[in-house]
Amino acid sequence: MKKIVILGLFSCSLMANDFSGEIEQRQNNFQHLDATADQLDDAFDNEVVDWDRIIPLAKSAYLTVQEQKTLFPEGSADNSRARTKIWQQKPEFEEKFTVLAEQFQLLDKAVKNKDEQAAREALSGAYSQCRSCHMSYRSLW
């Protein structure tokens, strides 16, 4: 009986520290954001802006960033390209995500209003925020 209890506790301990789902999801989200940003960029390069194409892309980017903020639990640096600096500077890291979310929210609002100038500015702000975060928190290997 003692062996079963100990084995059960050990198994729970291992499961509690398995962040592979979060790591995989955040990597998928980053790839999705990258692809979505490229699609948005391409859409704004067209002579005529296709708002029907851009509106769902902007919304998707915003929702993805909102989810992404939740996918960095303490201890999930192992087997990922995330630097441990994320958890050492968690408030600063979360603030960068907040600013990124705000940029995509501004983009979402601008495209709903079909305000091309505001949308371009918001997308540019999002790109700037992405670069800032990558410079600080992403491992290159």
* Model pLDDT, residue 118: 97
* Model pLDDT, residue 65: 94
**Model confidence pTM above 0.85:** no
| 66-96 pLDDT, tens digit each | 999 999 999 898 888 888 899 999 999 999 9
C-alpha to C-alpha distance for 63 and 12, rounded to whole angstroms: 32
* Model pLDDT, residue 1: 57
The answer to whether the beta carbons of residues 85 and 50 sit under 8 Å apart is no
**Domains in the chain with CATH codes:** 20-137 (1.20.120.10)
Q: Which residue has the tokens 């708002």?
A: 51
Q: Count H helices and E strands in the chain, helices first.
A: 6, 0
Q: Which residues contact 141 (CB under 8 A, 6 or more apart)?
A: 81
